[in-house]
Amino acid sequence: METCTGSPCQHGGTCHYHGLGNYKCTCNTGFTGANCETVKILFSSPNIDECASNPCLNGGTCVDGVNTYTCVCAPLYTGGACETGKTG
């Protein structure tokens, strides 16, 4: 019986029958393992605290995210960095 029946290779990997109940999976980029079952970590970069430089102006509060930040502005200010005073 051909062992590639039932698609043992996961995540779109290609099964190659090698006879006598043996097979080998060729995995797509980003996957590894006998059946392409493991996600390969291609690179990892440290998460930097974008709030360390105090990017929010006029008393805004910085909320750090993964490779991003958000400013929560004081009531009288608006803008991405709380740089604009509200009028009216």
Run of H or E including 39: strand 38-39
Instruction: Kindly list the domain boundaries of the chain, sorted by start residue.
Output: 1-42, 44-87
CATH code linked to domain 1-42? 2.10.25.10
pLDDT of residue 88: 66
pLDDT, one tens digit per residue, over 43-73 is: 666 778 999 999 999 999 999 988 889 999 9
Is the pLDDT at 1 greater than 50? The verdict is: no
CATH code linked to domain 44-87? 2.10.25.10
70 forms beta bridges with 63
Q: Is 47 exposed, middle or buried (0-12, 13-18, 19+ CB in 10 A)?
A: exposed
Rounded to 5°, angle at Cα 74 from 71 and 76: 125
> Do 11 and 32 contact (CB within 8 A), yes or no?
no
Answer whether 0.85 is exceeded by the pTM: no
